């Protein structure tokens, strides 16, 4: 308690409570904010994933705003700021990509953790 010398002991619980409340106010919005994710996987072995930069260009040309496109194992994970952009991207991707690709969204797509050593297009 050397650091609190000269600080009234009766105020220590209030100071600690205030510090915890400030920490909660700062950290809760970032925990509640989540990205909307779409994942593109190949349906058949032997098919290569589409180029992430090509997809970025095509989606941008259609007015879809993308946060990032990240290769993740055998898939491409595309992050969007909101559900509206994700739905628009899914429509474009289903038209753009030939048969043999699976476009998934929601919890099953966001469980794929991107590989930190691979490039991100944004």
In a domain, 43, yes or no: yes
In a domain, 11, yes or no: no
In a domain, 56, yes or no: yes
In a domain, 29, yes or no: no
Whether this prediction's pTM lies above 0.85 is answered by: no
Position 24 scores a pLDDT of: 84
Domain count, the chain: 1
In a domain, 117, yes or no: no
Over the stretch 62-121, which tens digit does the pLDDT of each residue have? 899 988 888 888 888 999 888 888 889 999 998 888 888 888 876 444 444 444 334 444
In a domain, 24, yes or no: no
In a domain, 45, yes or no: yes
Question: Burial letters for 86-110: b for 16+ Cβ neighbours within 10 Å, e otherwise?
Answer: bebbbebbeebbeeebebbbeeebb
Over the stretch 20-68, which tens digit does the pLDDT of each residue have? 888 888 877 666 556 688 888 888 787 788 888 989 999 999 899 988 8
In a domain, 15, yes or no: no
Structural domain for 49, as ranges: 36-96
> For the domain that residue 79 is a member of, what is the CATH number?
3.30.70.260
């Amino acid at each position: 308690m050397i650091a609190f010398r000269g600080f009234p002991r009766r105020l220590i619980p209030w100071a600690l409570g205030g510090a915890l409340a400030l920490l909660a106010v700062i950290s809760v919005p970032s925990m509640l904010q989540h990205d909307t994710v779409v994942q593109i996987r190949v349906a058949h072995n032997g098919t290569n994933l589409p180029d992430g930069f090509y997809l970025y260009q095509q989606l941008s040309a259609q007015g879809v705003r993308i946060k990032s496109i990240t290769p993740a194992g055998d898939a491409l994970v595309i992050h969007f700021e909101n559900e509206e952009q994700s739905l628009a991207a899914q429509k474009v991707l289903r038209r753009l990509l030939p048969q043999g690709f699976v476009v998934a969204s929601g919890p099953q797509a966001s469980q794929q953790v991107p590989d930190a050593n691979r490039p991100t297009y944004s």
